Homo-oligomer: A and B are copies of this chain.
Amino acid sequence: MIAFDESAARVAVRGLRGEEHTSAEEAYARAVWSVLVEPGDGVAGAFVAEHGAAEALRRIDDSADPDVRRARARWAPRRQPGAVEAVLDAARRCGAALVVPGDAAWPTRLDDLGAHAPLALWRRGVATHAERPAVALVGARASTAYGEGVAADLAADLAAAGVAVVSGAAYGIDGACHRAALSAGGATVAFLAGGVDRPYPRGHEALLAQIAAAGTVWSETPCGAAPTKWRFLSRNRLIAAMSDAVVVVEAGWRSGSLNTAAHAATLGRPLGAVPGPVTSAASAGCHRVLREYDGVCVTSASDVLEMLGAGGSPPPAWEQARTDATTRLLDALSPRTGRSSDDVARRSGLAPDEAAILLGFAELEGRVLRDDDGAWRTAARAAAGGRTTG
């Protein structure tokens, strides 16, 4: 049994909360939960959803739920005196906010994760962009100049179109996306695997400060938490859930960004990937997304905007050519040799009447010319396209 009340909670979370709707007691209890459990703990998520965070904390030791009875063995080692207060102090020191469900700033898209939604979020920065469409642009740290260039173009164009660019602040593709979105004056959002007070990677400390100044840096792990491999994998589900579409920009065969793609597929988020040369190992993961997840082939920001719900594409233009009798007519003409209407009919396989009518239309359009003796020939412009192959 973990005991506290509203007034004690209010003191504990002082300085960490804005104009929020959720009570201090509930917010504090969620902070405690975020210290006790690893990200994505579905038993904790279901238990908190059933009783509320504060009441669930009080019931940990007495619950008859067999899942909870098993889980509390893994939660117990983290129940240490002062652990929660140390996290709250660290958050205050770095200017982080504690954001919980019910708060105006809570990203409700994350609720799609159900029992695996984060129990609390820690935030650096103030802008939350909840009203904007959001697109995750993710990729490998081991990026190429090609991948970084495409990432920067996509991110800048999407940011300029009012889309928030969500990524993971890693070296390589992630960093290129955040930077381009910032340069375009747009909104960008980073999710970290460790605490928001521990900029990771260290070489992106300045970039993370810029993101926090213009956008938002989020983590579900408490301040002081190290960015472990498990937390990176768990963090990826938040990037996918936070976004209206997920695009893998450049990724090798085993890139962690494919894990983000898997979460997007599980969540039903539109999923795309940017292709690259099949000879480039750095694009092999993108091609897996196209093949194994039937991802959308993304070549530009407009392709991504279409993923956000613009609906179906128009019928392919090249199909129009197939029923075009004028093509056959022009095939049968020469720019040099004049031909009679009947000769044109025979060469094109058109009825003489039809050939004569089509020749008349083509003459009006300036595509064919009639000599003084009545012979037809192609105008120079039409002839240029007359003998192209399929």
Contacts and interface: CB of A to CB of B under 8 A. Distances in A.
Given A351-B73, A387-B229, A390-B260, A150 B278 contact: yes
A161 to B, nearest CB: 18
A337 interface: no
A190 interface: no
A222 to B, nearest CB: 12
Interface residues of A, number: 86
A275 B262 contact: no
A77 interface: yes
A283 B278 CA distance: 12
A257 interface: yes
Contacts of A73: 351-354
Nearest to A276: B277
A332 interface: yes
B290 A275 contact: yes
A85 B333 CA distance: 25
A201 B316 CA distance: 28
A233 B319 CA distance: 10
Given A74-B345, A351-B74, A38 B328 contact: yes
CB-CB nearest 10 A-B residue pairs: A275-B275, A73-B351, A228-B331, A256-B390, A232-B390, A38-B349, A77-B346, A290-B297, A74-B351, A278-B299
Interface of A: 37-38, 41, 70-71, 73-78, 80, 141, 146, 149-150, 168, 170, 193, 201, 226-233, 235-236, 254, 256-260, 262, 274-279, 283-284, 287-288, 290-294, 296-300, 303, 313, 316-319, 321-322, 327-328, 330-332, 342, 345-346, 348-354, 385-390
